[in-house]
Amino acid sequence: MNRRTALSLFASVAVAAVALFATAPSAHADALADITKRGTIRIAVPQDFPPFGSVGTDMKPVGYDVDTAALIAKKMGVKLELVPVTSANRIPFLQTNKVDLVISSLGKNPDREKVIDFSDAYAPFFNGVFAPADVKVASAADLSGKSVGVTRGAIEDLELSKIAPADATIKRYEDNNGTISAFLSGQVDAIATGNVVAAAILERNPPKRPEAKFLIKNSPCYIGMNKSEPALMAKINALLAESKKDGSLTAIAQKWLGAPLPADI
Amino acid sequence: MGYQFEFGWIVEYLPLIVSGIATTIQLIAVGAVAGILLGIACAWVRALGPVWLRPPVVAYVELIRNTPFLIQLFFIFFGLPSLGVQMSELQAANLAMIVNLGAYSCEIVRAGIQATPRGQFEAGASLAMSPFETFRHVVLIPALQRIWPALSSQVVIVMLGSAVVSQIAAEDLTFAANYIQSRNFRAFETYIVATILYLALSILLRQALRGVGLLLFPRRAP
């Protein structure tokens, strides 16, 4: 092998390598095209966070997030591949391109917004004051003269202690079960808790049905995707808007949280 | 051992601690007086009372002595409302402590009555006393004197057991400690303070019961 052929070989390898590296990102620049070409969408869902995602009696994942993932896949016309994740590894799974979307009760915060993008909200997640329909409460001031059960030390306890009027009685229980029992046995007029806990109460079909009266802290769930995927983002948001309009997303909310989607979603 | 102790929060939470101590004292005061009276009544039934009344009293005593206090408390506070019996957490805590101490003190007082020599009953009868008068004047006081130390211990146990009423949001000393601990995250210091306060309460309660004993039984034991 003379020097010229060696040089040209090296050059062609270099060109090929550059071409490969240059095309590699562009192949992923449009995740939507990838998904369509693959015919499968890979979605990260929780497996240990009911009612958003847990393992059902037949060992298959079930929950709000799982149903939402199925809805998205159906509307996109592709096959669904569920990838179980934990709350700690859901964002790394997305960043390392092991999944296309994260539908895993993901809340928005500035740190996360630096590394991934968020769609529109698809599920309500909030702390608030809940009471039966006949208890007239619309704001913290209306709690005057009423008793509110809360789990001691929880975020609702700390926030409610600041905003409740002086003549409202806050009863602090050791854990969520104590708070729930106090509500169901009528020991308190209202409870401050998460909408997921309220959903767990509704699931038991109790004589007293907790309704959301006002919000203490609102942190709805969003679908997470990699940064700079405008096509995928537009598609997902369009599908979410369509699902909200045709009632399919509200049906999921009704099924898993026992309440329709709130107005802000 | 680089732990830095921090007790500055005591000033901020002093009103809560004081009201927690007051609640614990109220609980044990009501619980001890009513519980011991209930225990004496039950002991009388079991030792000397009408035969038809004995089975229900035995059932009550066995039921309470063989179930956890926390379950009794939850039954009263969370369970009874289903039957329309609604009470505040303090009422529920008072009732649970009376019922609990009643059962234990029944057995303690009964031991004292049964240790009374037969001759004392006969002596009462020979003085033309009715059976009740004999019980009241001749049997009960020496019986109580005999078992007073054991009864005092039981009252202290119930006072310490009252810590669990914080589970139904009754705001006793333990509730105050848990509340403070969940706000200042100084678990070590908070529970050191709670421990010292409970210790002081126990010692005071024992002295108070000793004083009551000296008033009730001025003569020395035989």
Contact check, Cβ <8 Å, B77/A185: yes
- SS3 sequence of chain B: CCCCCCCCHHHHHHHHHHHHHHHHHHHHHHHHHHHHHHHHHHHHHHHCCCHHHHHHHHHHHHHHHCCCHHHHHHHHHHHHHHHCCCCCHHHHHHHHHHHHHHHHHHHHHHHHHHCCCHHHHHHHHHCCCCHHHHHHHHHHHHHHHHHHHHHHHHHHHHHHHHHHHHHHCCCCHHHHHHHHHHHHCCHHHHHHHHHHHHHHHHHHHHHHHHHHHHHHCCCCCC
Q: Which among B82, B86, B179 has CB closest to A172?
A: B179
Looking at residues B8-36, what average pLDDT do you find?
95
Residue A15's pLDDT is 58
Lowest mean pLDDT among A31-40, B55-64, B101-110: A31-40
Looking at residues A46-74, what average pLDDT do you find?
91
Residue A10's pLDDT is 62
User: pTM of the entire structure?
Assistant: 0.74
B81 min Cα distance to partner chain A (Å): 6
Residue A26's pLDDT is 42
A152 min Cα distance to partner chain B (Å): 7
> Mean pLDDT in chain A?
88
Give residue A60's pLDDT band: very low, low, confident or very high (50, 70, 90): confident
Lowest mean pLDDT among A50-54, A55-59, A248-252, B8-12: A55-59
Beta carbons within 8 Å of B3's beta carbon, 6+ residues apart: B188
A259 min Cα distance to partner chain B (Å): 26
Model confidence pLDDT, tens digit, residues B109-124: 999 999 988 888 889 8
Residue B161's pLDDT is 95
The pLDDT of residue B104 is above 50? yes
Amino acid identity at B82: S
Residue A59's pLDDT is 84
Six-digit token pair at A166? 């002086």
Q: Are strands A53-55 and A101-107 parallel, antiparallel or unpaired?
A: unpaired
Model confidence pLDDT, tens digit, residues B51-75: 999 999 999 999 999 999 999 999 9
Distance (Å, whole) CA B195 – CA A198: 36
Distance (Å, whole) CA A197 – CA A51: 10
Domains of chain A by range and CATH? 27-125+221-257 (3.40.190.10), 126-218 (3.40.190.10)
Check CB contact of B91 with chain A, cutoff 8 Å.
no
Residue with tokens 């509307």: A75
Residue A18's pLDDT is 54
Task: Looking at the structure, give the CATH architecture of the domain made up of residues B9-216.
Answer: Orthogonal Bundle (1.10)
Six-digit token pair at A130? 């809940």
The pLDDT of residue B76 is above 90? yes
> In whole angstroms, what separates CA B221 from the centre of its chain?
24
> In whole angstroms, what separates CA A74 from the centre of its chain?
19
The pLDDT of residue A23 is above 60? no
**What are the boundaries of each domain within chain B?**
9-216
**With pLDDT > 70 as the criterion, what percentage of chain A qualifies?**
89
Query: Are B6 and B189 within 8 A, CB to CB?
Result: yes
Strands (E), chain A: 40-46, 48-49, 53-55, 61-62, 79-85, 101-107, 116-123, 126-131, 147-151, 169-173, 190-194, 211-218, 221-226
Question: Reading across the β-sheet that carries A221-226, which strands appear in turn?
Answer: A79-85, A40-46, A101-107, A221-226, A116-123
Contact check, Cβ <8 Å, A149/B169: yes
**What ipTM does this complex have?**
0.73
Give residue A165's pLDDT band: very low, low, confident or very high (50, 70, 90): very high
Q: Are strands A221-226 and A101-107 parallel, antiparallel or unpaired?
A: antiparallel
The pLDDT of residue A100 is above 80? yes
